[in-house]
Each structure stands twice: as structure tokens, then as C-alpha cells.
Amino acid sequence: MTGTEMTISLCLAQKAGHVYGVEIVPEAIEDAKKNAELNQITNATFKAGQAEKVIPEWYDQGIKADVIVVDPPRKGCDEALLQTMIDMKPKRIVYVSCNPATLARDLKVLEAGGFKTVEVQPVDMFPQKMHVETVALLQRNLSN
């Protein structure tokens, strides 16, 4: 449901019934809307704001997701966002992280909320630097 420049959301729109994207930078949302129009993507909704506020609002409006993709800043996901993700009960969560410490912290919360970490893949996008991106795939436990 999130992506730094909505690239993730626009790619997912090709396979999804509908995609919702939220980004704190308003210019990124405007770019996403323009890119969606240029690429004739009509099944995407974008909103500028904090994910920890916008996604709970969408959930309260009855919007649910089969898959949630998050790409938070280094501080990781806010507790309210993590709880909303748990409450939405998606089949899968894809968590893209630039901070292994906050990823581990957030995975622990999601696992306590009924998800299982299936795969974790580090990606060295910044050769010769100490930073690494990590992509984690979680699936909801069938009993939840």
C-alpha cells in the first residue's frame, strides 16, 4: 500500500483489483497520479499523508487488502499502522526495509498478531556502503 514514489503501487495495479497508495510527500502523490494517467491505470487511489493515519482511516471506511506492501522510513512502522495491518488480516504482507533493526522489531509485532515470516531477502542496492535494503514476506496464519 505504500511506495516511495508509488512505483510499487503502480506495478501492483497491473495485477490487483484496486491499489491504494499513501505517501507523506505530496509531490510524490501528484507524480503517482500523473504516472497512473500516462499508463492508463484506473484502479489506483493515492493519498498524501502519514500511513499510520491514512490506512486506519481507510480501514474504518471498510477498505481491506489481500496484500499489503509497506516501505517505511528508517524508523520503521508506527504501532498504529502495524495494528491496523494486523486488523485488516491480509493474506500476505511484503515489508521493504532500509533498517534491519526496525524490521526485526516490526516483524515481531506482526508475528505476535498472527503472521508468519516466510522469507527475508537482503538486497545490496548501495555497494560499498553499510546500508542494505531487506524485503520480508509474511503470510497470515490460517488459524487467524
Q: Which residue is listed with cell 546500508?
A: 131
What domains sit in the chain, N to C, each tagged with a CATH number?
1-49 (no CATH), 64-144 (3.40.50.150)
Neighbours of 14 (CB within 10 A): 10
Q: Which residues are catalytic?
A: 98
Asked if residue 57 belongs to a known ligand binding site, the reply is no
Residue 2 has a pLDDT of 42
Parts of the chain with a pLDDT under 70: 1-6, 144
Q: pTM of this prediction? A: 0.89
What is the per-residue pLDDT across 55-72, written as a single tens digit (0 to 9) for each?
999 999 999 999 999 999
Asked if residue 5 belongs to a known ligand binding site, the reply is no
Rounded to 10 degrees, the C-alpha dihedral 98/69/29/41 comes to 140
